[in-house]
Structures are given as structure tokens and as C-alpha cells.
Structure 1
Amino acid sequence: MESSPRRDGTADHLSRRRFGQLAALGLAAGAGVVGLASPAAAAGTGGQIHYDRARRLAGEDPVLLALVRALTPDVSIPDFPDPPAPVKLFDDLAMLSVGFVHAMAVLTDDGIVLIDALRSAEDAENVIVPGLRELGADPETVRYVVVTHGHYDHFGGARYLADRYGARVLMSPADWDLVARTRPDDAPARDLEIADGQRLTLGDTTIHLHHTPGHTPGTVSPIFPVRAGSERHTAMLWGGTNPPETLTELRTYLSSIRSFRNRMRRAKVDVELSNHPVDHGLDRVEQLRNQPDGENPFVLGRRRTDRFMAVMSLMLRGRIADAEAAGDGN
């Protein structure tokens, strides 16, 4: 369907350690679990060679190191961080967050496409709506809500936005089914279904929506343009980070990484985004606030965004090796 500063070494070290903890929080929240690693993943030793390769590839890059920590088995869950104030990451992209989960608002000349809707109607009313107004955007122009996957902290505010503003809600068929099974009382009315590779166009902006199952059966990851002044960039948002538990699902997740990485290369993606603080994202938000005229920290460049996916691939290969070593044949 196509629809009408750098800092001194000490500060960097502390920041990476803090955001490794935040990463764990963001991953666990969506799945509603108390830890990241399944017993099978934690028990095996076969994955260590892949984890070590991922750490070497990450080097001293705080974004990649945060991802390594987020995907490392048996990470601990910290307290929830304080929610950041709403912020524009780019001229046409805003982040609205409750700390451990974010919604992204794509601002077009014909209205707003919201990517995810936080946890609840209260979040929509008290975070998304006033946050958009604070940034000079009109919440009444929210035309679409793209739900990346069917966990409560991503679709929770969608029904409110649909009922109040007439926004159309999009989700993959598999995750519409997931929501109907698991959270029927909180779910928005079943609306538009996302096909793999679908284009959603509003105004002068086209968002490409790709199926990336693994975190859930129907996780969706978007690729879309953003701008900062005269600069034009292409952004990706990986739709769901927490790895599944079974060997079959882990292999599906790895396949999704590979296919999406190829799509990123073809689209020349140079901006990495996440809907959880698994990527040093909240720290980069503060860097952006403190240095509004500096280089945008979300513009990683094409090679770093590709390395981001390479690190994720290695960490998933480690999870798969652990599951195989533990004898998980599912």
C-alpha cells in the first residue's frame, strides 16, 4: 500500500557504562521479562568467539559498545532513567520518550507519521501530545501511527490517537494477531496491515517499511529520509532488539538482520535510530541539546551504520551458538 565532543576519556567511559545498563532496560521492557538471557543462551560457551569478535569490531565506538552490552547474555536491569524532554533529532524528526522507550514523529508538510505510540493512552495524552506542541507540531495532524511491533510499550497510545485524531494505525499482520492474543483490552481496533517493503507516503516524505521478524513474529523496521538544514540523510530504525529464546526464532532474527542490512546499503542509510536506549541514544540526545550547532551525533555515516548491523549479527550468531551448545533443538 502507498498512502495518500567529543569528551575526555573519563566521561566517555562513565557514559558507556551507564548506557550499557540503560540498554538492558530498554530490551527487557518490551518483552515484559526480568532478564535478557534464556537459560540455554547463558549456559552455552559456543557463542563467546562471536561476542569477542563483536567487541573487537565495536572498538571504542560508544554506540557500538552499547549495542554489544545490550545483546550480551545475563545483563542486569537498572532502574528506569528519567524521561528526557521532547527533542528534534532533525528538522523533520522528533523524539518523544518516557526514558526506556521512545516514539519518533516524522514531520511532513502534510501531517505527522508517528513511529510507535509508547505504553498507554496516558502516555499519548501526557507525553506525545504536549511534546509535539512543545516542539511546534500540531498533534491534530497525526495521520498515521506505525507500530513497529506488538508489545504494549509500542502500541499502547495508538488507540487514543486513533480515537481522538482519526489517525490510521499500521502493524504487520502477524503482530496484529499477536496483540489480539496477548493484549486485546489495550489494543487499537485492527486497521491497516503492513506488507513487507511497503511504502507509506505523506506529503513529500516516503517511509519504507520492512518486515524484520525475530523480536516478535511481525516486527517492522522503517527506512526514511531526514534533513538538517540543507543536509539530507537517510535513517533506519531497527524495530525490535531483544533476541528471542528458541533456536528457530534466533535464526529468523539473524536472517532479518542480513536482509535489512542489504536494504540499508541499497538505500545508503547513514543515520541509526532505536526505539529503546540500547544505542547510546539518550546520551546522544543530550549531546545534541548541548551542541545544537555541532555535528549531529545520530549521523553515523554509512560505514558505521553498516558496522552497527555487523555487530548485531555477530551477537546473534553468539546467541545461536550458545543455544546449539545447550542442546536447544527448537
Structure 2
Amino acid sequence: MSVEQSGPSRRALLGAAALLPLLPLVGRKAEASATAPKSAQDYYDRAARLAGNDPVLLALVDALAPDYVMPPVEAPEPLRIFDNVAVVSTGFVSATALLTSQGVILIDALGSPDDAEKIIVPQLSSVGVDPSKIKYVVAAHGHWDHFGGAQYFADQYGARVMMGPADWDLIAADPPANAPNRDLEISDGQRLTLGDTTVAFHHTPGHTPGTVSSIFPVRWKGRRHTAMLLGGTNPPAATADKRAHLSSVLAFASRMRQAGVDVELNNHGTCDHGLKRMEELRSGSAEPGNPFTIGQSRAQRFMNVMETMLRGRIASDQEAHTATPPVAASPVQSTRTCC
């Protein structure tokens, strides 16, 4: 009488035993593959998908690409982009005037005293803003195209000049032409109140060590909104500074969310479709509402795109480091270039 074996055969058991040492290795390999660092291109592709067909976000993707060159553009005419915000621009860089009941806070001052006298002063006057009412000039970071006209307003109208302490140090280390006299230092989280308006300043190092980004109230046809203005968009050369920039973006996105930011502004209007939005607003071709009012969820997506592109830039550095011997970076970023 034969007995039917109900379990696996000896051969099958031996075969399975032979495979047992391999199973943990296979599992570990799959787990490592799932957590492997993404390539730079993976990040860039993801950022493009996040941007979709949104022209504001697509402009940011382009601006943060490693091979981006800021295109030459004609200077737009000055414009009140909100009831209490006026923008003047050379095309390359813009200055933003925040109007309050007790005077004006000017964020950035273009590149020189000549720019201040011949561009900012007459153009603000043309949109109904008295330049003599400028009480504070905020240099969002320590590059010449943001602080160059600041001392003019200090000398002519007694305006106070504000900058992050690290960037006061930056320009003091290699004083460029037209650098303002050291004045007020901006602390992280500082609030500046002038009349009926309070601006919150946040340190966002990366573009420069002392970059400062702002959050403040704006009004459009009497309705209140909350705006942010990035102090610096493009990351510097050193990978460590790119990581600092990434940390700043994550922290500032959280501050924006807490404040309910629904308006996005930038001091380089080619980086966020800003110059074109000015023309849409001027011509009335924009959809109903103000094109700078993008809503809270879209403002967060803007920062998500920025975060993803910065991760890609860091990955690009790591890939280049693996492929070629590292090149020592300059310890101090030049104050004479900006993007």
C-alpha cells in the first residue's frame, strides 16, 4: 500500500532552503531601490508636472533651471498693482512701494542713485505716490541692484535703510559702489508698523546669507489680501548654500500658510510672469480679479515648485561632483551679480 505524501517533497524543501539566504537580500535591494535618491531630472520633471500650464509656475521652473539666463526685456511703465502697492521696474529688477497712512515703505531701490532719481522718483510720482513720503527703504538682499538707490532716499528724504545683518556684513566685506551707509538691521520675524500697515520680515538665507522675505497686507478695490514678496529667487553656487535656501523655502512656505498669503510678488518680474501680469492688469486683458492674487493653494504650490526645483539643483551638484573632481567654491558670493 502506498502512502501519499501530503507535504512538499524533499527536493522542493531543499530548493526552498537554498533560496532562503537570498530572500532578505532581495527584500533589502527592493527597499534600497525605493528609497534611492532621485536624479536631478526627476525633480525637474516633477516640478514641470506641478506647474502644469500655469504661466506663473512655469516661469518659476524656467527661472530655477541651472542653465537659465534672464532675458533682456523692456522696462514697463510704472503701475499701481494694488490700491496700496506701486511697482517701478527697469525690466531686469523692480522696486515695490507699499503705501501706508503715514508714508511709504520701499522694498528694494534698483541699482544706483541715478536709478533712484531718474526712475523711482518720477515714476512713483506719475502713479500718485509722493517719493518724499518714503520712510523706510528695505533692501531685500545685499546685491547692488537692490540697494543701489537706497542711500539717495536716505540723503534726500531722511529715509531709514533696512537690511538683514548678514548682508550688511556681506557688503562691508567688499564694499561695492553705491552701497548705503549701515543703518537698521532686520531681525528674523521682525514686524515693522507704519501707520495702518504692518510688514512681517523673515530671514530666508540662500540667495545671499542675509536675504529677507516679506509678508504684508494689500488691498484691491477695497478688499484685503495678504501678499508675500520673495527676497531672492535663484540659489547661489555652493551646494551648502542651496541647502540653506531649500530650508528657507520650506520655512517661509509655512509662514505664508499661517498668514493666509494669497498674493505672490517678486523683485525680478521675469521669474514669476510678473512683468506680463502687470501688462495684463494695465490692459484689462486679465481674467476677472487681480492676476497677482493667485489664492492660498496656488501660492503654496508656487513654493512647492520652488522646493522641487531646488532639490533638483542640489541633485545636479551631487551628480556633477560624482562625475568630476570638485572645484572649490568662493567663500564669499559676489555682491555685483544677481538673478
TM-score range, shorter chain: 0.7 to 0.9
Match of 1:21 in 2: none
1:270, distance to aligned residue in structure 2 (A): 0.1
Q: Distance in 2 between matches of 1:195 and 1:220?
A: 9
TM-score (norm 1): 0.84
Are 2:59 and 1:66 aligned? yes
Match of 1:17 in 2: none
Letter in 2 for 1:68: V
Match of 2:169 in 1: 177
**Equivalences, count:** 285
Of 265, 282, 294, 1:289 maps to 282
8 Å CA contact 2:83, 2:222 repeated in 1? no
1:205, distance to aligned residue in structure 2 (A): 0.2
Match of 1:18 in 2: none
Superposed, 1:30-179 pairs within 5 Å as: 46-78=39-71, 80-179=72-171
1:230, distance to aligned residue in structure 2 (A): 2.6
Q: Distance in 1 between matches of 2:224 and 2:265?
A: 16
Match of 1:11 in 2: none
SS of equivalent residue, structure 2 residue 293? coil
Q: Distance in 2 between matches of 1:236 and 1:320?
A: 25
Match of 1:298 in 2: 292
Letter in 1 for 2:150: A
Q: Which of 183-192 and 296-305 deviates more?
A: 183-192
SS of equivalent residue, structure 1 residue 326? helix
Q: Distance in 1 between matches of 2:69 and 2:245?
A: 22
Q: Distance in 2 between matches of 1:76 and 1:161?
A: 31
1:75, distance to aligned residue in structure 2 (A): 2.4
1:219-264 Cα distance to aligned partner (Å, 9 max, x none):
0000000001231100001111121111111110000000000000
Q: Distance in 2 between matches of 1:68 and 1:165?
A: 39
Letter in 1 for 2:192: L
Q: Distance in 2 between matches of 1:73 and 1:142?
A: 37
Match of 1:325 in 2: 319
SS of equivalent residue, structure 1 residue 210? strand
Q: CA RMSD in A?
A: 1.5
In structure 2, runs of 5+ residues without a counterpart are 1-37, 330-339
Q: Distance in 2 between matches of 1:250 and 1:137?
A: 38
8 Å CA contact 2:139, 2:161 repeated in 1? yes
Are 2:298 and 1:309 aligned? no
Match of 1:247 in 2: 239
Bigger Rg over Cα: 2
1:132-171 Cα distance to aligned partner (Å, 9 max, x none):
1111111111000011000000000001010000000000
Q: Distance in 2 between matches of 1:137 and 1:88?
A: 9
1:305, distance to aligned residue in structure 2 (A): 0.5
1:182, distance to aligned residue in structure 2 (A): 2.9
Q: Distance in 2 between matches of 1:258 and 1:185?
A: 34
Letter in 1 for 2:211: T
8 Å CA contact 1:152, 1:183 repeated in 2? no
Q: Distance in 2 between matches of 1:292 and 1:323?
A: 41
8 Å CA contact 2:144, 2:176 repeated in 1? no
Q: Distance in 2 between matches of 1:309 and 1:121?
A: 33
Match of 2:178 in 1: 186
Q: Distance in 1 between matches of 2:84 and 2:267?
A: 17
1:292, distance to aligned residue in structure 2 (A): 8.1
Letter in 2 for 1:118: L
Of 236, 239, 244, 2:228 maps to 236
Indicate the percent of aligned positions where both proteins have the same amino acid.
60
Match of 2:4 in 1: none
8 Å CA contact 2:104, 2:134 repeated in 1? yes
Letter in 2 for 1:66: A
Q: Distance in 2 between matches of 1:81 and 1:184?
A: 25
Match of 2:271 in 1: 278
Q: Distance in 1 between matches of 2:99 and 2:222?
A: 16
Q: Distance in 1 between matches of 2:88 and 2:170?
A: 25
8 Å CA contact 2:113, 2:150 repeated in 1? yes
1:184, distance to aligned residue in structure 2 (A): 4.2
1:76, distance to aligned residue in structure 2 (A): 3.7
